[in-house]
Structure formats: structure tokens, C-alpha cells
Structure 1
Amino acid sequence: MALFQTEALVLGAVDFSESTQIARFVSPDRGKFSAMARGVKRIRSSLGPRLEAFSRVEVRVYAKEGAALGTLSAIDPIDEYAYLRADLERHALAATVLESIERGAAEGKPALELYRAATAYLGALGRAADAESLSAHTLLRLLCLLGFAPDLRPPRAESLSSRPEARLFFRPEEGRLSFAAPAEPRTPFMRLDAPLVEFLRRSMALRLEEFEINGAAPALRRPALDFLLRLLAYYLESELRSARFLRKMIWSAPAAFPIPAG
């Protein structure tokens, strides 16, 4: 039985028995993997508090050669991103990023760039004045890393900034823009306007640090997020659970959404 040690983000955990859970992680060198956390639900377990989703940790796992599931031996915290416990909207936004990685990342294959994108995002989200723009930037980055980079170039060789009134249609099957809706009624498409496309194009060209300073105009933030979440749903073949929660519980709620006590 071999022991490996790696830094990882906790994606979540599911119950296996009364005292044991199966924890899911993503790490830079091992990609997505799972490990049995024996006794984690016992009161005196040292593992439980550190297996919260979003936590950045150092783990040691025993794994038999060829086995799909190892056993968690030890876990040490690096960053718990405590701000997420007090801000329901940022928690919901962060959940869309982690669920996108969980759904899209390959099992057991290195995921260095995905990991860097996620940890940089979680580190910046707590201090960002514009959490929605930052989240849109990161989701667009994840789409590119997962192999679904949208082609946002204008359909013709012209600047969209000269046509702010233009309506465009994004065809996910082809991954590109068009000035006309598909002729076939069953062909999926998404309507976009020129300012939104320009914002997304600029987002693709900026690093996260630059984007913290150069966010989106307020009117573009949620449309950008909504487009990217629908695009992820198309490519991952079903809507993200976290996106459904964001739309129903955050975007449709009063501005001052109460956080449950306790």
C-alpha cells in the first residue's frame, strides 16, 4: 500500500456509513480523486472540521495499487476561506466554480491550471468589490481550460464597439457567434448584445489580478454569469445544482438576503 501526499481543494463529501464519508478532492498533480475518511463523523475525529467544501488542505492518502478509492490518513488546513460562511451570495458563486471543476475535470489526471484558477479565485473573492464579475471571469477561464473555449470574435471583420446596438447569437454546437439566429428551430442558441460580448472578450484577455481592477459595468454582470452558466450546462449536459440555487435563492431574493443564524 502506497502513501501519497498532495495539496488539494475539498469538493465535498458524501456519507458512506454512520461514521465514515467519502471525500472528493481536486489537486494540481492528481486531478480529481476520492478518499475514504474513516470515523470522520465521530465527535472526536480530527478530520471532520477540515473536510468542509472549499477548504484548501494538505492530505495524506493510503492507496492500494489499482484501487479506485484510497483511505485518508491525515489532513492539514491551509486556508478555510472563512469569509464564505458569512456571505451567502459569495458562497453560492464559489459553488458554481467548484461544481464546474468537479463535473468537468478528469479523474486521476493532473489539473494544475484548473487548481491554480480555483485557488486564485477563492483567494480574491473575499476582497473583491465586484464578486459577480470576478466569478464570470473565472467561469470563462474554466470553460477554456476544460476545452470549451467560446469563439467570441465578431462574425465579420468589424469592431462590435462601433455597433453597440447589435444583437448576436451564440451557437454552442459550433462554439461561435452569428448575426442571425439558426434557421433550424431546434438548433440551440443564446442571444447576446454587443457590450456583453466585448466584456467577455476583454475578460479572456485579462489576468485575474487585472480583472479585480477592471470589472464589468453593473448591467453586464449577471447577464455574463447567466450566459456562462448556461454554456456550462450545455457542455456538461445538465444544469449545475449551484447555478439553480444561485438563480432561485440569490438573484430572485431581496437584496439583503438573510443568512441563517448558527
Structure 2
Amino acid sequence: MHLSVENLTFGYGSKPILKGVRIDGIGAGKVAAIIGPNAAGKSTLFKCLAGILKGTGNIFYDGRPIEAFRREEITKHVTYLPQEGASNAVLTVFEAILLARQFSVSWRVSDDDLVTVSETMEALEIADFALRYLNELSGGQRQMVSIAQALVRNPDVLLMDEPTNSLDLQRQLEVLSIVRKATKAKGMTTLIALHDLNLASRYADQFVVMSDGMVYASGRAESVLTPQMLEDIYGVHAEVSIDSHGQTVVTPMCSARNRIANRRPEYAQLAV
């Protein structure tokens, strides 16, 4: 499902959060990394794309404005995984993931539902604690359950807000690999908010860089992950290179503030 955004604006009272966001297009089978510093507006953007918040401007799915979709249509086509993760409901892991397959009040569990849940748990390697209760899990395990809940819905559009938080490095690589493969195999449109730029470079097809509620730049890693962008948006001095696999690699060197301070004579005198 093709996604595009035109002049999306949203705020809480008199405080603007999104300021004319434009995304020209993210197509089916593509993974887009939404990157930017804290408070850039990434989570608010996802909530608007999921129909949870309503701003001004336009959001289009396959050329159709979001306002033209009924609430149940949005719920069926778009899955949003927030940062908060799985709840503390008194459910087993299997029950919580199965419940995520519910699309209507009249829903009945089918063989397909059971197979989808089982296969997803196996792929994410969480089947071993299928019968444990959510409140017995570690933060990382609960995050894996949340990711499974998102994937079993087989959405057309998948919005994942920092899904690798609380996960160790191995799990981060595994999860993003599974999400990328599912995106390609099922023709999903996937947007992932990430802070790790090198992980984003490895798994994303395109980037949207946000800062202060606006889009600073968008495109492929090699055109977006530049030393100038990293200084402008993240306030860091960094080196950018291409590794032996053709991936763009970011190596942060120091805070841009420290770099400026090191040039000041008074700073040098203090260090003597």
C-alpha cells in the first residue's frame, strides 16, 4: 500500500509538534527508517498515520485520503507498534499474540489464526515462553511479544516506533531481519523509527530525517547520512564511510559543541 503525506501539521494547544511534514512516497515492499533526535515528532507522525491523532494536511494510502477510510478499515490495514509495548494484562504470551489477530467483535479463532501465531512465535524464537504470563517477562521479552503482535496482523502498513528498544544486539539484528523479510514477502509498507543509524542503514531502503517537527531530508542512506546532516540534526561530528558490503557506516567522533569548545583559547587555558 503506497503511503504519501502532504503538509501534515499537528499540535497540542498552541504548541506545534508537526510542521508541514511532506513524504513524497513509500511504496509496497519498502522499509523506511524514520530518524531524528528526541522530540523530533516521530511518534506523533506515527500516531497521525495510524489515525489515532488528527492533524491538518493530507495522508494518502494508495492515493486515497485517510479520512475516506472507516475506523475498522484503518485498523485492518495499518498496524501501529508504540514504544510502550505489551500491556500487563493477565494473559499468557500465546493468548496476547492470538488476541492481536482480532479484527472484529464477531471474531472467531480459526486454524489459520493458530498457525499464524505459532509460526510467528517460532520465527521470533519466543515459543519457549508461550505459556508464561506477560507480567512474568523481562522488558526485552515483552518487547518481542509486542513485535509478534504487530506481525501476526499481516497489515498493509506497519508502523514501528523504536521496536529494538530493550533488545540486545543479537535480537535487534534478528528482529529487523525478520521485519525486512516479511515486508518484502508480503508487500507491506513498513516505517520504523530508529536511533541506531547503522542498523537503519543495514535494513532500510530509504530514510526520512525529522527535526523539530519537519522533514530535513529524505532518500537513500548514501544521500541522507552525511557529515553535514549529522552535525545539523544530531549535533555531532562524525565520519561516514562505505563498508565492504556496500553499507553506509556512521562513526560518531564527538559532540559538535565539544568540537567548538576545543577551539576556544579559554578552554585550552582551563585544561592546562
Query: Do they superpose with TM above 0.5?
Result: no
Structure with the bigger percentage of strand: 2
Relative contact order (C-alpha < 8 Å, sep 6+): which is higher? 2
Normalising to structure 1: TM-score of the pair? 0.28
